[in-house]
């Protein structure tokens, strides 16, 4: 994967497809991640994309990078808003595959125990596609009940639509 990533528009571009310099390679955060020297370039690239997405795309309050040497991964610690808890994000390119045990070991190492004792091990797996799409899925140790169906909202919409269709026929 050596695409230069999201292309900014503007005076840097003289001709289409001919960037002045590879801005990504000289980005300070990217260089910091490379210097951690724990992961290969594809994982660093994925981690960098997720870093940008969280900070710039989703306006997270803060995001820092941490190396997990034994897994050859860079993971990110971040807070969505100032008052919220720290969340642990594990970026990974889509072609990697993990065993369930490996995921659990990564979870144990990536999570730093929080002050409140009731928070269980939880990480967000950020899966990066070759077209830079990122999807975020949450892995938690143990049984997490699903949210109950939102009765009033869902029902009203569906039934209202059905009634309208019948009336208009």
Partner 1 sequence: MIQIHVLQGAALVWSAEDAREIRERFRLVGTLVGALARKPRQNTRLGLPLQLLPEEARLLAELGEAILVRSTETQPLAEGEELNQASEVEAYKQELEESYQEQQRLAGAERGALLARLADHIAEGRARRRQERGEAPDAGEDLGLLDSPFILPRGSMMVQLPTARCHSGRIERVDWTSPSPDWPHANCPAHEARYHVFRELWDRGYYLSGGSKFGGDFLVYPGDPLRFHAHYIALCCPPGAPLPLCALVAAARLGTSVKKTVLLCSPSPSGTVAFTSLQWSGLQ
Give contact residues for partner 1 (rule: CB under 8 A).
Answer: 58, 92, 94-101, 103-104, 107, 124-125, 127, 135-149
3-state secondary structure (DSSP) of residue 38: coil
Minimum distance between the CB of residue 79 and partner 1, rounded to whole angstroms? Answer: 14
Helix 41-52 × helix 28-36 angle, to 10°: 140
Beta carbon of residue 27, minimum distance to partner 1 (angstroms, whole number): 23
Q: Do residues 60 and 76 touch, judged by C-beta distance below 8 A? A: no
C-beta closer to partner 1: residue 37 or 150: 150
- Collect all residues with Cβ–Cβ distance below 8 Å to 80 and sequence separation of at least 6: 58, 60, 61, 87
* Smallest gap from residue 136 Cβ to partner 1 (A): 4
Nearer to partner 1, 62 or 141 (CB): 141
Question: CA neighbours within 13 Å on the CB side: how many for 149?
Answer: 5
Tokens at residue 63, please? 């995001």
Nearer to partner 1, 101 or 118 (CB): 101
Q: What angle do CA 79, 83, 86 make, to 5 degrees?
A: 30
**For residues 65 and 87, which CB has a smaller minimum distance to partner 1 in the complex?**
87
Least CB distance from residue 77 to partner 1, whole Å? 15
Q: How far is it, in rounded angstroms, from Cα 145 to Cα 92?
A: 26
- Closer of 36 and 125 to partner 1 (Cβ): 125
Report in angstroms how near the CB of residue 49 gets to partner 1 at its nearest.
Answer: 14
């Amino acid at each position: 994967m050596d695409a230069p990533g999201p292309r900014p528009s503007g005076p840097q571009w003289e001709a289409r497809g001919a960037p002045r310099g590879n801005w990504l390679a000289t980005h300070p955060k990217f260089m910091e991640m490379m210097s951690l020297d724990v992961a290969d370039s594809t994982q660093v690239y994925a981690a960098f994309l997720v870093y940008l997405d969280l900070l710039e795309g989703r306006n997270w309050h803060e995001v820092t990078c941490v190396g997990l040497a034994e897994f050859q991964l860079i993971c990110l610690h971040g807070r969505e808003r100032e008052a919220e808890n720290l969340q642990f994000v594990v970026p990974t390119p889509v072609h990697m595959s993990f065993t369930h045990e490996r995921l659990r070991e990564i979870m144990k190492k990536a999570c730093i125990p929080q002050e409140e004792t009731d928070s269980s091990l939880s990480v967000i797996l950020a899966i990066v596609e070759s077209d830079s799409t990122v999807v975020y899925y949450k892995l938690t140790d143990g049984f997490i009940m699903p949210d109950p169906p939102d009765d009033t909202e869902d029902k009203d919409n569906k039934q209202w639509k059905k009634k309208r269709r019948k009336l208009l026929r």
